[in-house]
A and B are shown apart, each in its own frame.
Chain A
Amino acid sequence: MTSPEPVSPDSGGPPPRRGAASPLARILPEVDDRWMAHWPMMLLGLVILYNVLPGAYGEYVVSVAVLGSMFAIGALGLNVHYGFAGLLNFGHVMFLMVGAYTTALLVSGRGMNIFLAMLIGAVVASVLGLVVGAFSLRLRTDYLAIVTIAMAEMGRVIIKNSGSFRVDPLTGSGKTIGTGGVFGVQNFSSGFNSFLDTTLPFVNSHAWQLFIFNAVVITIILYMTWTLRRSPWGRALRAIREDEDIAAALGKPTFLLKLQAFAVGGFIGAFAGVAFALNNNFIDPDTWLPIFTFRIWIAMIMGGAGTIFGPVLGAMLLQSIFSLVRFLPNIAASPLFGWIPESLVSSNRIFALQGMLLGLLIMLVVIFRPQGVLGSREDLILEGT
């Protein structure tokens, strides 16, 4: 850095920095451009891991990555809400649910092309975002959190009890389809799977095919959120996140901008639901419990809210840790860990252990890296100053 140019003595030089900024962060003060390096690195890491590990383990790692990538898409959508615009959306799962159901019903009921159905699902989710946002985004942020969580739960309960409605959403008559109520919807992935087989004939693992598809979706979303964040639109949203009154005083249409952010995040979130549905070839209402939203939140916070790549990294980390818990019985069986009582890590306690680990993880992140792995410490310190 060159020495500061001579200035009037009263205004002084730059004040001492609070929190260190990396040289890269100084060159690129406004945007996290490093996703372009991080994302290929992560993909390469997965390929290496797959080839190094013995057969079944490699396959398992890829299936973990498929799950992780699904959470990553969800977290990328939530990041537009919270990371970009500061909207406390605690009902994110409703966007996933609407995207998944719309797609699944259009494909299974009407035999629609899977990609067209996916797109319609995402559009329906963003329209839902506009509707929910229209009456909730004027609320204070804490009320928004309550409204969104209630909306998501209402949607889930309605779907759960609506199996017998059997109304065709497009024509209102003719061939009837329904949400399947508690039984859910199934068998809609065959068209998608045969598409994967024809497009990726050289990939003989289904998990890899799914992952490649999710990775393409993630790449498109990363590019999209990156483009948005560095645009004046993204800057206006950051201003709203900082202080909505100031943004309004500067002539920014704050309500409209928040509404747009809500719709964009919902559009992205829908693809997470679709990815989840296609992975399982089955969806039912109880897939979309509030805990789903919270896992997406943890993924985003862990990786770094407001960054471009943080949500993906956080989701992958979270899913890896979750999946590693499964191997605890094996690890405990090894001589090195003989002191761990077997009853503690028996397979029927895995879920409880996952929950405990999740709690521990949140505490560790909040204590040692509250800004997330990729977040900026300076941003956190300056919040609300």
Chain B
Amino acid sequence: MVEPRDHTRGVPDPILHIEGLSKRFGGVRAVNNASFAVQRGTLTSLIGPNGAGKTTLFNLVTGFDRPDKGRVHFDGHNITGHSPPEIARKGLVRTFQLARDLSRLTVFENLLLAAQHQKGERLIVALVPIPMWRSQEKANSERAEELLELFRLTHLRNERAGNLSGGQRKLVDLARAMMMRPSMVLLDEPMAGVNPTLTEQLLERIVALRDEGLTFLLVEHDMDVVMRVSERVIVMAEGRVIAGGTPSEVRNDPAVIEAYLGVTVDRED
């Protein structure tokens, strides 16, 4: 069972700061003047009805889409308009809504791939017949083994990622993100399509990592989970940020209740 933690964390220290972010797709304002900050070392949830612009916001923050307006600051750098690999290398790592594993690579290869600053990824080094990248690869392998152990994936080590179940893939996604030694992770619906026991296991991992100082921004539909583990909740609807605060504050916010009412009835989960 995962316990909520103390919300009072002293001086604000935002690791991610978004100012007036906007993105239009044709006539649709997918994200409309969104501003918020995520404090270092917290688990913040981003919630909202379907179509609220959560995934678009993720894409804007991680460089997969260019914002029309607004700025994104991460860890003291303005990363607005940077490319996805640049942003990832700065330590802001994302996962995707659908577990998008590299199906033909094994679980182990998926993890090894994610290691940063690999010498052997430079063509000149890779061309040398004597693998000068061996020692680094060995160190990365050890870390990968540790992560597999931690995420209880060791038995799937040499399995192609495409052969795994949806829940197992989500675990691989998270383990792979950890391999990059990020300072902040954006998780896009990590529990979607995952069975309850595995959800609990994933959650346990996330909270443990948060306790070690990692920052998480989580998009999640399961309100139970969100209210239980997050220190702060940001609510989006129709592209706007309509509320933000502790779970209990948000739960009683009239704007949030209004935004959710029409939608909750339709929801099937």
Whether B120 and A239, one on each chain, are in contact in the complex, defined by CB atoms closer than 8 angstroms, is no
Residues of A1-22 at the interface with B, using a CB-CB cut-off of 8 Å, are: 4-5, 7-15, 17-18
Instruction: Using A227-B128, A248-B83 as known contacts, list a sample of 9 further A-B pairs with CB atoms less than 8 Å apart, ordered by residue number in A.
Output: A15-B164, A30-B109, A232-B113, A233-B121, A243-B100, A249-B95, A250-B113, A257-B121, A378-B104
Asked if A26 is at the interface of the complex by the 8 Å CB criterion, the answer is yes
Whether A227 and B129, one on each chain, are in contact in the complex, defined by CB atoms closer than 8 angstroms, is yes
Q: In the complex, which residues of chain B have a beta carbon less than 8 angstroms from the beta carbon of A246?
A: 96, 100-102
Whether A233 and B102, one on each chain, are in contact in the complex, defined by CB atoms closer than 8 angstroms, is no
Inter-chain CB contacts under 8 Å: number: 151
List 17 contacting pairs A-B, 8 Å CB cutoff, sorted by A: A7-B154, A11-B168, A29-B109, A224-B127, A227-B131, A230-B131, A232-B112, A233-B123, A233-B126, A235-B105, A243-B102, A245-B96, A246-B96, A249-B93, A250-B114, A381-B162, A382-B162
Whether A242 and B104, one on each chain, are in contact in the complex, defined by CB atoms closer than 8 angstroms, is yes
CB distance from B103 to the nearest CB of A (A): 4
Whether B155 and A250, one on each chain, are in contact in the complex, defined by CB atoms closer than 8 angstroms, is no
CB distance from B55 to the nearest CB of A (A): 13
Whether B164 and A235, one on each chain, are in contact in the complex, defined by CB atoms closer than 8 angstroms, is no
Q: In the complex, which residues of chain A have a beta carbon less than 8 angstroms from the beta carbon of B168?
A: 11-12
A306 CA / B125 CA spacing, docked (Å): 21
A307 CA / B226 CA spacing, docked (Å): 46
Q: Given A7, A378, A385, which contacts B152 in the complex, CB threshold below 8 Å? A: A7
B-contact 0/1 string along A92-129, CB 8 Å cutoff? 00000000000000000000000000000000000000
Whether A248 and B163, one on each chain, are in contact in the complex, defined by CB atoms closer than 8 angstroms, is no
A4 CA / B158 CA spacing, docked (Å): 12
Most buried by A among B126, B154, B176: B126
Whether A8 and B197, one on each chain, are in contact in the complex, defined by CB atoms closer than 8 angstroms, is yes
Q: Given B119, B127, B154, B197, which contacts A5 in the complex, CB threshold below 8 Å? A: B154
Asked if A301 is at the interface of the complex by the 8 Å CB criterion, the answer is no
CB distance from A240 to the nearest CB of B (A): 9
Whether A232 and B126, one on each chain, are in contact in the complex, defined by CB atoms closer than 8 angstroms, is yes
Whether A251 and B180, one on each chain, are in contact in the complex, defined by CB atoms closer than 8 angstroms, is yes
Residues of A within 8 A of B (CB): 4-5, 7-15, 17-18, 26, 29-30, 223-224, 227-228, 230-236, 238-239, 242-243, 245-254, 257, 260, 264, 378-379, 381-385
Whether B163 and A15, one on each chain, are in contact in the complex, defined by CB atoms closer than 8 angstroms, is yes
Q: Please judge, given known A-B contacts A228-B127, A238-B105, whether A245 and B195 are in contact too, CB under 8 Å.
A: no
Whether B96 and A7, one on each chain, are in contact in the complex, defined by CB atoms closer than 8 angstroms, is no
Q: Please judge, given known A-B contacts A11-B152, A252-B121, whether A382 and B104 are in contact too, CB under 8 Å.
A: yes
Asked if B257 is at the interface of the complex by the 8 Å CB criterion, the answer is no
Whether B156 and A242, one on each chain, are in contact in the complex, defined by CB atoms closer than 8 angstroms, is no
CB distance from A234 to the nearest CB of B (A): 7
Whether A253 and B104, one on each chain, are in contact in the complex, defined by CB atoms closer than 8 angstroms, is no
Whether A250 and B165, one on each chain, are in contact in the complex, defined by CB atoms closer than 8 angstroms, is no
CB distance from B79 to the nearest CB of A (A): 13
Whether A252 and B85, one on each chain, are in contact in the complex, defined by CB atoms closer than 8 angstroms, is yes
Q: Which residue of B lies closest to A240 (CB)?
A: B102
Q: In the complex, which residues of chain A have a beta carbon less than 8 angstroms from the beta carbon of B89?
A: 251
